[in-house]
A and B are shown apart, each in its own frame.
Chain A
Amino acid sequence: MSSLKPKPVPERTPVGGADEHVFVERARRGDLAAFEELVNRYERKIFRLALNITGNREDAEEVLQEAFLKAYTNLDRFQGDSRFYTWLVRIAVNEGLMKLRRRRPNVVSLDQELEAEDDLLPRQVEDWGPNPEQRFAQIELQRILDEAIAGLEPDYRVVFVLRDIEQLSSEETAQALDISVPAVKSRLLRARLKLRERLNPYFRPGESPLPARPER
Chain B
Amino acid sequence: MDCRAVIRELSEYLDGELDRTLFEEVERHLAHCQDCRLVVNTTKKTIEFYCNSAPLPLPEDVRNRLHAALATRLKRPSP
- Tally chain A residues at the interface, Cβ within 8 Å: 53
List of A residues within 8 angstroms of B14 by Cβ: 6, 8-9
List of A residues within 8 angstroms of B44 by Cβ: 9
B73 touches A44 (CB 8 A): no
The distance from the CB of A152 to the nearest CB of chain B, in whole angstroms, is: 11
A9 touches B7 (CB 8 A): no
The distance from the CB of A183 to the nearest CB of chain B, in whole angstroms, is: 13
11 A-B pairs with C-beta separation under 8 A = A4-B37, A4-B41, A8-B14, A10-B48, A32-B74, A120-B4, A121-B7, A122-B7, A127-B38, A149-B50, A167-B51
B56 touches A44 (CB 8 A): yes
A68 touches B42 (CB 8 A): no
- The answer for the CA separation of A39 and B17 in the assembled complex, in Å, is 33
- The answer for the CA separation of A185 and B17 in the assembled complex, in Å, is 11
The distance from the CB of B5 to the nearest CB of chain A, in whole angstroms, is: 10
- The answer for the CA separation of A36 and B51 in the assembled complex, in Å, is 27
Q: Interface digits, A176-209 against B, CB 8 Å rule (1 contact, 0 not)?
A: 0000000001001100110110011001000000
Q: Is A165 an interface residue (CB 8 A)?
A: yes
B contacts, CB < 8 Å to A: 3-4, 7-8, 10-18, 23, 27, 30-31, 35, 37-58, 62-63, 65-67, 69-70, 73-74, 76
A164's partner among B12, B37, B47, B74 (CB-CB below 8 A) is B47
Closest partner residue, chain B, to A10 (CB atom): B51
B39 touches A65 (CB 8 A): no
Given A4-B37, A125-B38, are A193 and B7 also a contact pair (CB < 8 Å)? yes
List of B residues within 8 angstroms of A80 by Cβ: none
Closest partner residue, chain A, to B8 (CB atom): A120
A44 touches B43 (CB 8 A): no
A1 touches B56 (CB 8 A): no
- The answer for the CA separation of A105 and B39 in the assembled complex, in Å, is 34
A125 touches B39 (CB 8 A): yes
A126's partner among B38, B54, B69 (CB-CB below 8 A) is B38
